[in-house]
Homo-oligomer: A and B are copies of this chain.
Amino acid sequence: MNLEEKKVSGEVLYRGKVVTLEKDKVQCSNGKEAYREVIRHSGGAAILCMDADSRVLLIRQFRYAYQEVLWEIPAGKLEKEELPEQAARRELEEETGVKATNLTYLMQIYPSCGYTSERIYLYLVRDFDMTSVCWDEDEQMEISWIEYDKVKEMIRNGIIKDAKTICAIMAYEARREENA
């Protein structure tokens, strides 16, 4: 079945710091016309970092859109012309002072495929050195090391709600099963 939608016309409604908003007129594969609102985003990188005792590096950060402090793995936006792996290394060190000596690609996820173009690239870090944090002026967070089984319990209990964090744990579980 042909499912593709073709762009008929489009306009950029807003260019921001984090998101750009576009509205396109499209032709659906059944011939009907429709409008699609699209959030353009440069993409993100997120890091599941675990120490030798299988403790997971989590941060707590106030997320304005939800008006809540959330538990998350370290993550950040790709800078212009930055590769996902570079962004992962940079964000991990800036946010938590952890300098990865080894980094494994886990998977990419599409966080909300109905309206955003954002891709989040997930990495695993098991080997690292400690340096010091370097937060942006408008960035504040708490850093914790939480036992792996406790993190899974926090997902089960709904304490961890952030999709990239849940997906990173799922990706890690899948790797473990594969190697078992």
Distance between Cα atoms of A117 and B63 in the complex (Å): 9
* A28 neighbours in B (Cβ, 8 Å): 138, 140
Among the 9-residue stretches A96-104, A123-131, A157-165, the one with 4 or more Cβ atoms under 8 Å from chain B is A157-165
Distance between Cα atoms of A5 and B108 in the complex (Å): 30
Do the beta carbons of B62 and A38 come within 8 Å of each other? no
Do the beta carbons of B109 and A163 come within 8 Å of each other? yes
Contact of A166 among B61, B65, B109, B177 (CB under 8 A): B109
* A1 neighbours in B (Cβ, 8 Å): 140, 142
Interface size class of A (residues with CB under 8 A): 35 or more
Interface presence of A134 (CB below 8 A): no
User: In chain A between 89 and 107, which residues have their CB closer than 8 angstroms to a CB of chain B?
Assistant: 107
A161 to chain B, nearest CB (A): 5
Q: A107-B158, A158-B108, A167-B167 are in contact. Are A39 and B65 (CB under 8 A)?
A: yes
Q: A3-B61, A137-B32, A158-B108 are in contact. Are A19 and B115 (CB under 8 A)?
A: yes
Most chain B Cβ neighbours within 10 Å, of A5, A29, A114: A114
Interface presence of A26 (CB below 8 A): yes
Question: 27 A-B contacts, Cβ less than 8 Å apart?
Answer: A1-B140, A1-B142, A3-B61, A4-B62, A13-B13, A14-B14, A14-B21, A16-B23, A24-B64, A29-B140, A36-B65, A39-B65, A39-B115, A39-B116, A66-B110, A70-B110, A109-B166, A110-B161, A110-B162, A111-B111, A112-B118, A152-B174, A156-B178, A163-B164, A166-B171, A167-B167, A170-B173
